[in-house]
A and B are shown apart, each in its own frame.
Chain A
């Protein structure tokens, strides 16, 4: 025991000496000590909801690691081959080499199925955490100046992530994803004027495309989009560090400071802990819960399909829109100007993302607030924004849920045709109800607090006729003369 303690202390002293020498070695070559000092002292506000973006980032790292492994086995070829591997049900069946390579990953490569499932679960969790992160950003007003630029970067990453996930599971060329690719082809064709030529260029001809189609998909999935995402992540993180993270109001927290935990040692360890937890959860579900059992669906053929086919959840909002649309096709003089899939597959997502992109500018216009904001709102303190967000979100979520009404009919017996007709009107009525309910709930919550913001310290100001802010309540001020940022809810004449 004593000997053990002596050995341990010897090792730790040796490690310390080596570390010191290592730091001097690097310093002599790079002179980075000031930067390291800055980094180690960097302060992160501690709220748990600020970790959602990190969950997305760490899922992305798992995606890259597992993806590299998978890319080494995947064959991006639509050339036909006959299966003679270990999975009995596919024996003797004709399939593409791409599909065969993935079936081999599942059954012939040690740990292949674990890594493939972890990769697919990581994609789902990646996009889910981005969506949660986006919701946190929206409902706390973190997209306001100066972070609107970063917000645009984040939205772009969300679009790319959704596209990346769709392409990823379409690479497999199984029956389920092949049907999805056909629909993507139909949506591409539906773009007015240029859709026909665009789809022909992307697919290399009419669907199912030429012999290089899977190679193209692979290049986009393995190289182009991940590289773009990495670049955008770098820009995203750099902007956060330049501006410092936003924070909720509280003890000692002002617009012009950041209060939180310094990077070293506590925050770094916790962040590493989150990375390890994300990896843990993904490997656990990757091993224990089956996802996309492509060997059960069988290979894709243009002339085959199955009932109950669904895309992954992050495309579900589009299938809902496609199913809901009445069969309107704009035909002028024999020309199909707007084919039907355009509404649900192009116009709808463009509109949703358009509103999201436009929101910071719209809010600045309607609240006439051009100031810089580094303190966050609690959702209840900005009831109209929260209500609009909730209403808009409920609109998208209902359309997403409509995409699954066929299974609802199967399980509960509610007529599918009836559901479609009901929701064609319901998707317009329900979000309005959600808006009103959310707004009054937020107002009620906001009013019922003893103080509008927990721990908020500051002065209540009013702008006089010359436009000069004057402190209304001297006793509430911090230091004399300091202008602090009162919460929106207490400023007269604005939303509350």
Chain B
């Protein structure tokens, strides 16, 4: 057997060298494409006809809320903006469109303010994940849209809010670690779950954080006040704001994401510095070219 293998191994090749490399590359690419192609549909298993969805949680008694200006003029302005910018997906009567966009009836002010003020809506296409971008609508236009959508679709006209100054940092760390760090990373540097990219929280405003916690945008779960009450929400928001400038007593923080940049520093700064020193101390191999 070994002799056979050795004979086959040491036979002179029939293809030229370049041909062999090309053949290997082609076979490899075909194999890879085959595997990657078969990976589609990995995000969730078989889909039933109308899968489960969730609705935002309305603010209850005792919850801190913020209200938005409203007037008939604002509602009318909102209607114009809506018809031009949102109705193609969400429908002229806010009824949604099957397979394209959900209905906006009853969502309330919180989700509308969250998606618009963070620039997540309008979306490039229905299957694109909503991500933070430069808002298309300014504050006045946003208020107009909120006024119209809550007027025409119903739902609370106030959005859940939080007061970070009233929160406790230590409680915020605990609540955040238990509910949020699994996706958002313990100091809010973002990450992923299977099925979604998870944003870092470095640019979220206290209002947006409160709105997101209560509504659960995209595939994020939501948390009502029986789970995270107003004081805990205040603490959570205060903690998230703190993560923008965490206590980095050790020096340059390397973006606070842990061992990956630390390993890079160890190799590309410390080891490289020591290699330079070694080169200074030692000699090169001598010869005609040194």
- Report A's interface with B, CB cutoff 8 A: 46-52, 55, 87-93, 106-107, 113, 117, 121, 124-125, 128-129, 132, 175-176, 248, 250-251, 270, 273-274, 277-278, 281-282, 285, 287-293, 295-298, 304-313, 316, 378, 404, 406-407, 409-410, 413, 416-418, 421-422, 424-426, 429, 432-433, 436, 440, 450-451, 453-455
User: Chain B residues with Cβ under 8 A from A429's Cβ?
Assistant: 24, 28, 31-32
- 8 Å CB interface, B176-222 against A: 177-178, 181-187, 189-194, 197-198
- Report B's interface with A, CB cutoff 8 A: 17, 20-21, 24-25, 28, 31-32, 35-36, 38-39, 42-43, 169-170, 173-174, 177-178, 181-187, 189-194, 197-198, 239, 242, 246-254, 256-260, 262-263, 265-267, 269-271, 273-274, 277-279, 281-290
Instruction: Find the B residue at minimum CB distance from A404.
Output: B260
| A175 adjacent to B251 (CB under 8 Å) | no
Cβ of B12 to closest chain A Cβ, rounded Å: 16
| B260 adjacent to A307 (CB under 8 Å) | no
Cβ of A164 to closest chain B Cβ, rounded Å: 16
Q: List 7 A-B contacts (CB under 8 A).
A: A121-B270, A128-B267, A307-B191, A313-B263, A404-B260, A421-B38, A436-B20
| A132 adjacent to B170 (CB under 8 Å) | no
User: Chain B residues with Cβ under 8 A from A91's Cβ?
Assistant: 170
| B257 adjacent to A298 (CB under 8 Å) | no
* Nearest 4 interchain pairs by C-beta: A454-B287, A48-B282, A313-B263, A290-B250
Main SS class of interface, B:
helix
| A307 adjacent to B197 (CB under 8 Å) | no
Q: Name the residue among B20, B194, B262, B265 with the largest chain A CB count within 10 angstroms.
A: B262
User: Chain A residues with Cβ under 8 A from B178's Cβ?
Assistant: 304
Q: Given A124-B262, A293-B250, A312-B262, are A277 and B186 neighbors across the interface (CB < 8 Å)?
A: no
| B260 adjacent to A310 (CB under 8 Å) | yes
| B278 adjacent to A51 (CB under 8 Å) | yes
User: Chain B residues with Cβ under 8 A from A308's Cβ?
Assistant: 185, 189, 191, 257-258
Instruction: Find the A residue at minimum CB distance from B274.
Output: A55
User: Chain A residues with Cβ under 8 A from B193's Cβ?
Assistant: 307
User: Chain B residues with Cβ under 8 A from A309's Cβ?
Assistant: 258
Cβ of B178 to closest chain A Cβ, rounded Å: 6
Cβ of B121 to closest chain A Cβ, rounded Å: 19
| A128 adjacent to B277 (CB under 8 Å) | no
| A454 adjacent to B286 (CB under 8 Å) | yes
| A93 adjacent to B170 (CB under 8 Å) | yes
> Which of B170, B239, B265, B283 is the one whose CB lies under 8 Å from A285?
B265
